[in-house]
Amino acid sequence: MQRYNYTARDQTGKIIRGKIMAEDDVDLAHKISSLGYFLTNFKIVSEDRNATQGKIKTKGLKMKPRELLQFTYQISTLIDAGLPLLNGLNELVNQSSNETVRGILSDVRYRIESGGSLKNALAAYPKTFTPIYQAVIGAGEAAGKLPQALTDLAYLLEWQQDLKAKIKEAAMYPIILFVVLTFVVAILVVKVIPIFEPMFEAQGQDLPLPTQIVLNVSSFVRSFWYLMIGSGGLLFGVYKAYYSTENGRYIIDSIKLKMPIVGDLIRKTVLSRFSHIFALSFKSGINLLTCLDTAKDACANERIERAIEKVRNSVNVGERLADSLKASNEFPNMVVSIISAGEQSGALAETLNKVASFYDKEVEVTTKRIFVLMEPIMIVIMGIVVGGIAVAIFLPMFQMGDMIGG
Greatest Cα pair distance, the chain, in angstroms, is 112
Sign of CA dihedral 186, 192, 198, 201: negative
Contact 347, 279 (CB under 8 A): no
pLDDT in tens, 95-119: 888 888 888 888 888 888 777 888 8
Question: Comparing 364 with 1, which gets the higher pLDDT?
Answer: 364
Residue 30 lies in a domain: yes
Q: What is the pLDDT of residue 49?
A: 41
pLDDT in tens, 369-378: 887 788 788 8
pLDDT band for position 138 (50/70/90)? confident
As a whole number, mean pLDDT of residues 140-150 equals: 84
Task: Please provide residue 251's backbone torsions phi and psi, each rounded to the nearest 5 degrees.
Answer: -65, -45
* Segments forming the whole domain that contains residue 31: 1-45
Residue 348 lies in a domain: no
- On the question of pLDDT at 76 being above 50, the answer is yes
Query: Which of 4, 31, 7 shows the shortest CA–CA distance to 17?
Result: 7
Q: What is the pLDDT of residue 237?
A: 94
What is the SS3 string spanning 56-112? HHHCCCCCCHHHHHHHHHHHHHHHHCCCCHHHHHHHHHHHCCCHHHHHHHHHHHHHH
Exposure letters 65-93 (e unless 16+ CB within 10 A, then b): eebbbbbbbbbbebbeeebbbbbbbbebb
pLDDT in tens, 197-208: 787 777 666 778
How far apart are alpha carbons 105 and 98 in whole angstroms? 11
pTM value is 0.69
Which residues lie below 8 Å from residue 154, measured CB to CB, with a gap of 6+? 69, 72, 73, 76
How far apart are alpha carbons 148 and 77 in whole angstroms? 10
Which residues lie below 8 Å from residue 393, measured CB to CB, with a gap of 6+? 192, 193, 196, 211, 214
Contact 30, 38 (CB under 8 A): no
Residue 39 lies in a domain: yes
Q: What is the pLDDT of residue 164?
A: 82
As a whole number, mean pLDDT of residues 295-309 equals: 88
pLDDT in tens, 150-180: 988 888 888 888 878 877 877 787 788 888 8
CA gyration radius, the chain: 31
- On the question of pLDDT at 28 being above 60, the answer is yes
Residue 85 lies in a domain: no
Q: What is the pLDDT of residue 402?
A: 55
pLDDT band for position 50 (50/70/90)? very low
Residue 125 lies in a domain: no
Which residues lie below 8 Å from residue 69, measured CB to CB, with a gap of 6+? 154, 157, 158, 161
How far apart are alpha carbons 15 and 112 in whole angstroms? 18
Residue 6 lies in a domain: yes
Query: Which of 165, 163, 141, 137 shows the shortest CA–CA distance to 150?
Result: 137
Q: What is the pLDDT of residue 163?
A: 79
Residue 12 lies in a domain: yes
How far apart are alpha carbons 325 and 268 in whole angstroms? 16
Residue 24 lies in a domain: yes
Q: What is the pLDDT of residue 48?
A: 42
Q: Specify the DSSP class assigned to residue 259.
A: S
Sign of CA dihedral 212, 218, 219, 224: positive
- On the question of pLDDT at 54 being above 60, the answer is no
Query: Which of 372, 375, 376, 367 shows the shortest CA–CA distance to 174?
Result: 375
Strands 38-45 and 2-9: antiparallel
pLDDT in tens, 267-281: 888 888 888 888 888
Angle of helix 302-316 relative to helix 246-258, nearest 10 degrees, comes to: 100
As a whole number, mean pLDDT of residues 180-199 equals: 84
The count of domains in the chain is 1
